[in-house]
Structure 1
Amino acid sequence: MDGPQREFLDDLLSTHSPAGFESPALRAWVDYVSEFADDVSVDAYGNAVATCEGGSESDRSIAFGGHADEIGLMIRDIDDDGFLALTRVGGADRTVVRGQHVVVHADEPIPGVVGGTAIHLRDRDDDAVPEIRESYVDIGVGSREEAEELVEVGDPITIVGRVEALQGTRLAARGMDNRVGIWAAAEGLRRAAARDAEVTVHAVATVQEELGANGARMVGFDLAPDAFVAVDVTHATDAPKTPSERVSTVKLGEGPVVVRGSANHPGLVAGVRSVAAAEGIDVQLEAAGSATGTDADAVFVSRGGIPSANVGLPNRYMHTPVEVIDTDDLDALAELLGAVGASAAGFDLTAGL
């Protein structure tokens, strides 16, 4: 992957957009899709929709949706010495927070660090990882008054990370979950348009997925597509130390993941798998017996039922600052979405009864 598509991915991964504060990622996304979409709109909470109108032969529409938000932290209090007490934004992992460089997203970005008692000063029998509410950020000031000149309660915080190319086609960064999803949705739209898709194709970047798929609920109701594909990361369990009961067949480098069960509409899933086979795109399968854990769970129950499916990208070390993907998987995912958009007119979206 190179050229404008790689630059777009790097731009997305370099932004910091915790849930509820997604504007930086959404601005980069809207700038990109505006180059080829027929229409781009943004609602009151920031959900962005880019549309390429279909031909006159079909009135069907399909949407590809990723979420623009990421996990993070937030200031819940400032103590008398200027240290910042924390709370979670979404599913932040306390085991990777301590000892990190962070940015407080105030009126101006304020650098800080998550402090931790030095090993020399800790009780040797106490290696417990503190809860996030017990952690604090040090921004280098000495009093509450100094801190309050720079930050305030409710300012979001993200861990500092960098985009790092590993060996081969592997890429590491914070925020893969789910900048890769909105990248793929945008690229799927562009590639579907290049194939002269008969149906109207939408790409969607939703907000607040990490807080309960809130943005997807808004978009599902308002956009009301005939079909919706949620594009998100899924766990690649091919790294050491994965608990045996959680190991799946999903691996990096073996293609995008088609999810079956729960919110996933059988006809839409069959259509996606058929397109993958016709295009020679290798896909992996994953079971979702109860829920997908993605925006599909919110959209499929909207307006009396919108046929939905979850297509995932294998991702190692989810919700850490060093998530790892394979860019070949990501490019294959975008190619699959483009082909799905071009073929969606023929999908059977009935219940099959």
Structure 2
Amino acid sequence: MDEMQRSFLTDLLSVSTPSGFETAGQRRWLSYVDEHADETRTDAYGNAVAIHEGPEESPSIAITGHGDEIGMMIRAITDEGYLQLSRIGGSDRTVTRGQHVTVHTDDGPVDGVIGQVAIHLRDSEDETYDEIAEQHVDIGVEEGDDARELVDIGDPVTLATEITDLADGRLAARGMDNRVGIWTAAEAFRRAVESDPDVTIYAVSTVQEELGLRGAEMVGFELDPDAVVAIDVTHATDHPDTPSIRGSDVELGSGPVVARGSANHPSLVDAVRTVAAESEFDLQLAAAGSRTGTDADAFYTARGGIPSLNVGIPNRYMHTPVEVIDRSDLDSAAALLAATAIRLDEFAPFGVDL
């Protein structure tokens, strides 16, 4: 990962993009892919697409990630000036207490903290976690009217965290899920386009995945490619707290993860595995017997069925403020998907022999 690529990743991780409020991240993503694309476009809800036009009748592939992250939202303001919360997506109630937050208002950011009763005052026999709806943000004001001058009901809230370089090329930050996916989609697109392949390639950053794959449903209907690769984070299970029966054996730094089963079209799985083997790219496999839990689940049922594949970036501590990834996995995923896109006409059309 060179300086330009790292700067792009840092930019993506530095903006806040809770589902339904992705604009800042989508703008930054578009500015990166625009100089490599024949065309870029967006739709009414902010799904963003970059296009490299191949010859007429050439096969097409969409390399996608989702640009939104989990978060919270102000649902009420008390007379004492505290902000009551609801969830945006799958926010984890066990990690929100005692955190710095940013309220994103139309007039700019407002800083606050999510209160936590001091350990000295808590009932030592009651260490349950309050639901997010029972937690509150303290922005320092004394009355509700003071708070209402600064924030509105429905303003999104995100945890305020730093991007931290760890040892051995690893990074920790909030929202790796799924800024690393849209980084990989953009980078795979850039690398593939450099060779000017006779293939139509789309890079896509979807919205509202965390709310139920909503953006992918929109894009899958409108775009109609021959194949889709949905890049998302997947659980790295190489840390001590991972339940042994949950997930596949996935390690940081061992390459991207190709899922098998359910949405993952076997011919597309074979194509990516073939490219990885012939190019000596690191690759891991994961089982997805019922669903992937990613945009691939929406793409593969769009229209008459779009051959789809979920490729995962190993990620520790998903949906917490300290998600950890290995930068080498991002580079490997971008290189693998670029090579697959360039060779798409060797594998298309994708079907099942009956």
Q: TM-score band (shorter)? A: over 0.9
Q: One-letter code of the match for 2:330?
A: L
Checking the alignment, whether the CA contact within 8 Å between 1:115 and 1:138 is kept in structure 2 is: yes
Q: One-letter code of the match for 1:351?
A: V
- C-alpha displacement of 1:198: 1.6
- C-alpha displacement of 1:195: 2.4
Identity over aligned pairs, percent: 61
- C-alpha displacement of 1:80: 0.6
Q: One-letter code of the match for 2:133?
A: R
Q: One-letter code of the match for 2:181?
A: G
Q: One-letter code of the match for 1:98?
A: R
Checking the alignment, whether the CA contact within 8 Å between 1:67 and 1:207 is kept in structure 2 is: yes
Kindly indicate whether residue 88 of structure 2 is the aligned counterpart of residue 89 of structure 1: yes
What residue is the counterpart of 2:325 in the other structure?
325
Matches of 1:149 and 1:105 in 2, distance apart?
Answer: 14
What residue is the counterpart of 2:269 in the other structure?
269
Any residues of structure 2 matched to 1:1-353 within 5 Å, and which? 1-55=1-55, 58-107=57-106, 108-246=108-246, 248-348=248-348, 349-353=350-354
Checking the alignment, whether the CA contact within 8 Å between 1:55 and 1:197 is kept in structure 2 is: no
SS at match of 1:29: helix
Q: One-letter code of the match for 1:220?
A: G
Matches of 2:61 and 2:2 in 1, distance apart?
Answer: 27
Matches of 1:126 and 1:286 in 2, distance apart?
Answer: 38
Checking the alignment, whether the CA contact within 8 Å between 2:59 and 2:226 is kept in structure 1 is: yes
- C-alpha displacement of 1:241: 1.5
Q: Single out whichever of 187-196 and 65-74 deviates more from structure 2.
A: 187-196
Structure 2: where are the runs of 5+ without partners?
Answer: none
Matches of 1:192 and 1:54 in 2, distance apart?
Answer: 12
Matches of 1:142 and 1:237 in 2, distance apart?
Answer: 45
SS at match of 1:303: coil
Checking the alignment, whether the CA contact within 8 Å between 1:78 and 1:84 is kept in structure 2 is: yes
Checking the alignment, whether the CA contact within 8 Å between 2:235 and 2:315 is kept in structure 1 is: yes
- C-alpha displacement of 1:7: 0.6
CA-to-partner distance for each residue in 1:177-200, whole Å, 9 max, x for gaps?
000000000011111111222210
**Following superposition, which runs of at least 4 residues in structure 1 exceed 2 angstroms of deviation?**
none
Matches of 1:352 and 1:50 in 2, distance apart?
Answer: 32
SS at match of 1:304: coil
Q: Single out whichever of 26-35 and 191-200 deviates more from structure 2.
A: 191-200
| TM-score normalised over the length of structure 1 | 0.98
Q: One-letter code of the match for 1:37?
A: A
Checking the alignment, whether the CA contact within 8 Å between 1:63 and 1:202 is kept in structure 2 is: yes
- C-alpha displacement of 1:351: 1.4
Checking the alignment, whether the CA contact within 8 Å between 2:235 and 2:247 is kept in structure 1 is: no
- C-alpha displacement of 1:247: 5.1
Q: Single out whichever of 23-32 and 189-198 deviates more from structure 2.
A: 189-198
Checking the alignment, whether the CA contact within 8 Å between 2:181 and 2:233 is kept in structure 1 is: yes
CA-to-partner distance for each residue in 1:210-268, whole Å, 9 max, x for gaps?
00000000000000111000000000010011112115210001000000000000111
Matches of 2:191 and 2:294 in 1, distance apart?
Answer: 23
Checking the alignment, whether the CA contact within 8 Å between 1:315 and 1:324 is kept in structure 2 is: yes
Matches of 2:143 and 2:20 in 1, distance apart?
Answer: 28
Q: CA RMSD in A?
A: 0.9
SS at match of 1:254: coil
